[in-house]
Copies of this chain bind each other. A is one copy, B any other.
Amino acid sequence: MIQASIITIGDELLIGQVIDTNSPWMSQELNKAGIRVARRVAVGDVWDEIWAALDEEQKYADIILITGGLGPTADDITKPLLCKYFGGNMIVDEGARQNVINIFTKLNRPIIERNLSQAEVPDNCKVIPNKRGTAPGMWFTKPLQTSPVASEVSVNAKKVFVSMPGVPQEMKGMMEDDVVPMLQAAFQCPVIIHKTLLTAGVGESFLADLIKDFEEALPKHIKLAYLPNYGMVRLRLSATGYDGPAIEKEIVQYFETLQSLVKDYLVTNEDEPLEKVVGKLLVAKNKTLCTAESCTGGYIAHLLTSIPGSSEFYDGSVISYSYKAKEDLLQVDHTILESKGAVSEEIVTQMAKAALKNIGSNYVIAVSGIMGPGGGMPDKPVGTVWVALGNEQKIVTQKLFFRFDRIRNIQLTASTALNLLRKFILEG
> Does A242 have its Cβ within 8 Å of any Cβ on chain B?
no
Q: Which of A256-264, A304-312, A393-401 contacts B (4 or more CB under 8 A)?
A: A304-312
Q: Would A24 and B18 count as touching, CB distance under 8 A?
A: yes
Q: Would B226 and A75 count as touching, CB distance under 8 A?
A: yes
Q: Which of A85-93, A151-159, A181-189, A320-328 contacts B (4 or more CB under 8 A)?
A: A320-328
- Which of A15, A209, A317, A319 is packed against the most chain B CB atoms within 10 Å? A319
Partner of A16, one of B24, B39, B115, B310: B24
Q: Would A372 and B169 count as touching, CB distance under 8 A?
A: no
| Known A25-B16, A227-B18; contact A322-B316, beta-carbon cutoff 8 A | yes
> Does A349 have its Cβ within 8 Å of any Cβ on chain B?
no
Q: Which of A122-130, A243-251, A402-410, A417-425 contacts B (4 or more CB under 8 A)?
A: A402-410
In the assembled complex, how far is the CB of residue A312 from the closest CB belonging to chain B, in whole angstroms? 10
Interface residue count for A (Cβ, 8 Å)? 112
Q: Would A39 and B41 count as touching, CB distance under 8 A?
A: yes
Q: Would B42 and A14 count as touching, CB distance under 8 A?
A: no
Binary B-proximity of A266-297 (CB < 8 A = 1, otherwise 0): 00000100000000000000001011010011
Q: Would A325 and B48 count as touching, CB distance under 8 A?
A: no
Q: Provide the residues of chain B in CB contact with A72, threshold 8 Å.
A: 204-205, 208
Q: Would A410 and B306 count as touching, CB distance under 8 A?
A: yes
Q: Which partner residue on chain B sits nearest A12 by CB separation?
A: B227
Partner of A302, one of B223, B298, B311: B298
> Does A143 have its Cβ within 8 Å of any Cβ on chain B?
no
Q: Would B290 and A297 count as touching, CB distance under 8 A?
A: no
In the assembled complex, how far is the CB of residue A271 from the closest CB belonging to chain B, in whole angstroms? 8
- Which of A17, A28, A204 is packed against the most chain B CB atoms within 10 Å? A17
A154 to B171, CA, bound (A): 40
A408 to B173, CA, bound (A): 14
Q: Would B321 and A205 count as touching, CB distance under 8 A?
A: no
Q: Provide the residues of chain B in CB contact with A358, threshold 8 Å.
A: 328-329
Q: Provide the residues of chain B in CB contact with A11, threshold 8 Å.
A: 223, 225, 238
> Does A31 have its Cβ within 8 Å of any Cβ on chain B?
yes
Q: Would B297 and A302 count as touching, CB distance under 8 A?
A: yes
> Does A217 have its Cβ within 8 Å of any Cβ on chain B?
no
Q: Which partner residue on chain B sits nearest A320 by CB separation?
A: B316
> Does A97 have its Cβ within 8 Å of any Cβ on chain B?
no
Q: Would B16 and A322 count as touching, CB distance under 8 A?
A: no
Q: Would A305 and B321 count as touching, CB distance under 8 A?
A: yes
Q: Provide the residues of chain B in CB contact with A41, threshold 8 Å.
A: 39-42
Q: Would B290 and A325 count as touching, CB distance under 8 A?
A: yes
Query: Which residues, 158 to 182 on A, are CB-close (under 8 Å) to B?
Result: 167-169
> Does A236 have its Cβ within 8 Å of any Cβ on chain B?
yes
| Known A71-B226, A325-B315; contact A304-B308, beta-carbon cutoff 8 A | no
Pairs of residues from A and B, 9 with the lowest C-beta to C-beta distance, nearest first: A297-B305, A298-B301, A298-B298, A16-B27, A316-B325, A16-B24, A16-B28, A40-B42, A317-B319
What are 29 residue pairs bridging A and B, where the CB atoms are less than 8 Å apart in the complex? Answer: A11-B223, A14-B27, A14-B36, A14-B37, A16-B24, A17-B24, A18-B227, A39-B41, A39-B42, A39-B43, A72-B204, A72-B208, A73-B205, A74-B224, A109-B203, A112-B205, A169-B405, A169-B408, A298-B302, A305-B410, A308-B372, A314-B321, A314-B322, A315-B321, A316-B320, A316-B329, A317-B318, A319-B319, A328-B359
Chain A contact residues, CB within 8 Å of chain B: 11-21, 23-29, 31, 36-45, 48-49, 52-53, 56, 60, 71-75, 109, 112, 114-115, 149, 167-169, 194, 196, 203-206, 208-209, 215-216, 223-229, 234, 236, 238, 271, 288, 290-291, 293, 296-302, 304-306, 308-311, 314-322, 324-325, 328-329, 358-360, 372-374, 404-408, 410
